[in-house]
Amino acid sequence: MPTSEPPQTPPSSEKSGIQPPQTLLDLITGVLSILLLSSLTVRSFVGRWQVVRSKLCTLQSSLSSIAESPHWNDNSLLHTLFPSLLSTLQRLKALSDQCTLSSFAGGKLLMQSDLDMASSSLSSHLHDLDLLLRSGVLHQSSAIVLSQPGPGSGKDDLVFFIRDLFTRLQIGGIEFKRKALESLLQLLDKDKKSTAVVAKEGNFGYLISLLEVNSQPLIREQAVLAVSILASSSEDSRKIIFEEGGLGPLLRILETGSIPLKEKAAIAVEAITADPENAWAISAYGGVSVLIEACRSGSQPTQIHAVGALRNVASVEDIRMALGEEGAVPVTVQLLVSGSTAAQEKAANCLSILASSGEYFRALIIQEKGLPRLMHVIQDSLSSDTIEHVLSTISSLSVKDSVSRILSSSTVFIIQLGEFIKHGNMILQQISASLLSKLSVSDGNKRAISSCMCSLVKLMESPKPVGLQDAAAEAIVSLLTVRSNRKDLVRDEKSVMRLVQMLDPKNEVVSKKYPLMVVTAVLGGGSDGCRKRLVAAGVTKHLQSLTEMEVTGAKKALQRLARSRLKTIFSRAWRE
């Protein structure tokens, strides 16, 4: 049976030697009529011919529907389908002639094989014709086929274009597939909103089938790019790609494909695993080791998205342990210092998630010399996102005494925390303040960062994010154990006024425990100068009101204020 494909481009005239669609349809109809009759009179392999006859009846109905379609003879896909269909029918005609003889003289096994092959080809043709009919493209003029809808076109035009595109992708030969994918990529590039329509109208299952290694290389490359764009564009697209089994082929490409294919596959894998409902499947496909190797030896773009996928997997508790067992921590730590800016940020995020999950991963990160590398990144990185993740990781590691001692004794690190509190974004300020409050910082280093106290007082006024006020108050209290810092704080009029305003019972935005903590710490040293400045600012009346309201901590602060005054009086009397 002939299997070669006819040329993909429809002829402009009969000089090409290819017959027009109407002539081909007439020939097909003629052979089909003969086959429908002969299939009733065969004497050999009757059971197989009954199956063939059922398919022939279906074909007759499909051809009738095609003939009734207004623009069927304009559709170039039929220039491919009809010659191949006619060839199959002619082969069946030759086989039926042999099977209608009174005694079959040929080889039975060979005839069975030939009949099965012809029947399979017929099934393939029926599938293609059914797809063509259901797409609705035969009811539209070929003048707009593969011509992208313009800016003023309606949704119906876009829907038709996408249906036609996927019909050509599934039915046509290599050239049709190439052009269809080319048009799809152009559409996705020019019209970002089209992805929703593609997700609804396109056949993602077939598109994913083109990712397999047996696909023609150029077709496979275009398909990978299309899947990559679709996966990155919308949640609906990612969901469909995952449900159609796209993650497995993408991981195989990431493992064995060419560098350009790996880069596109990595983008898609990262996008798909952003949904925790999908990320768990990485382990099921054996993808953790694939991602780790991509991080270790992949190109820079591949590394960026592979470590992004590892970060996504790290968020899924059920499979997080596989990252530790298969060696994700060493390669992720390495990307902190050797990766690109984007890879560095995602690696830091991944480590932050792992470090916060428990002692097992904290020990692995420390074992891989992660702490000095994290501290190094803080000094060199210009990305606030990266620094946030790095500080978060360090904060999780600081629960270990050995790490806490290293951090506490590092003047460079402590000074950096002070700078983040003064100039960082709110998340950096919160993490830095929290770290500062937990570390055993020397008095010398506390004096070195005294300038951040004003920022900490200001942060105490912010109810969001949750925990910021606690961290700021505890950090400033830890700094106020140094006498010179207490004096520096009360010399700053803005900070003192903020404390007074926060103490005002009418101010309900800030919990009173925070300013009371700070005022109590300021008065703890018994300095008359500190007391005078607080009294002059109006602290006394607020403390008295809060004491009467039985606010926790108010009575203690008022007592310290009184003791400080008495101490000053007795000191003067003694000198006199």
Q: What would the pLDDT profile of 65-77 be if each residue is shown by its tens digit?
A: 777 776 677 666 7
65 contacts: CB under 8 Å, gap ≥ 6: 133
Cα–Cα distance, 479 to 502 (Å, whole number): 20
Mean pLDDT of all residues belonging to the chain: 86
Cα–Cα distance, 531 to 326 (Å, whole number): 60
Better-predicted residue by pLDDT, 268 or 146: 268
Contact 472, 432 (CB under 8 A): no
Q: Where is average pLDDT lowest: 60-64, 69-73, 251-255, 412-416?
A: 69-73
Cα–Cα distance, 320 to 155 (Å, whole number): 44
Cα–Cα distance, 212 to 188 (Å, whole number): 22
pLDDT given at position 138: 66
For 158-191, give one letter per residue: b (16+ CB within 10 A) or e: bebbbbbbbbbbbbbbeebbbbbbebbeebbeee
pLDDT given at position 576: 46
Cα–Cα distance, 240 to 199 (Å, whole number): 7
pLDDT given at position 137: 63
Cα–Cα distance, 53 to 45 (Å, whole number): 12
Cα–Cα distance, 420 to 427 (Å, whole number): 10
pLDDT given at position 569: 42
- Greatest Cα pair distance, the chain, in angstroms, is 142
Residue 145, token pair as written in the block: 């086929």
Cα–Cα distance, 546 to 555 (Å, whole number): 8
pLDDT given at position 74: 66
The radius of gyration of the chain from alpha carbons, rounded to an integer in Å, stands at 38
CA end-to-end distance (rounded Å), the chain: 123
Report pLDDT digits (tens) over 523-566. Answer: 887 677 788 888 888 888 988 988 888 888 888 888 877 765 54
Cα–Cα distance, 431 to 421 (Å, whole number): 9
Cα–Cα distance, 439 to 407 (Å, whole number): 7
Quick check: 570 pLDDT over 70?
no
pLDDT given at position 411: 96
Percent of the chain with pLDDT over 90: 49
Region 304-313: mean pLDDT is 97
Cα–Cα distance, 456 to 430 (Å, whole number): 9
pLDDT given at position 176: 80
Residue by residue, DSSP assigns 144-155 as: GTT----TT--H
Report pLDDT digits (tens) over 131-161. Answer: 777 766 665 554 334 467 766 667 788 888 8
Report pLDDT digits (tens) over 419-465. Answer: 999 999 999 999 999 999 999 999 999 999 999 999 999 999 988 88
Cα–Cα distance, 401 to 399 (Å, whole number): 6
Report pLDDT digits (tens) over 162-181. Answer: 888 888 888 767 888 888 89
> Could you give the count of Cα atoms lying within 13 Å of 479 in the half-sphere of its Cβ?
34
For 94-129, give one letter per residue: b (16+ CB within 10 A) or e: ebbeebbeeeeeeeeeebeebbeebbebbeebbebb
Region 332-358: mean pLDDT is 94
Judge residue 506's burial from the number of C-beta atoms within 10 Å of its C-beta, 0-12 exposed, 13-18 middle, 19 or more buried. exposed
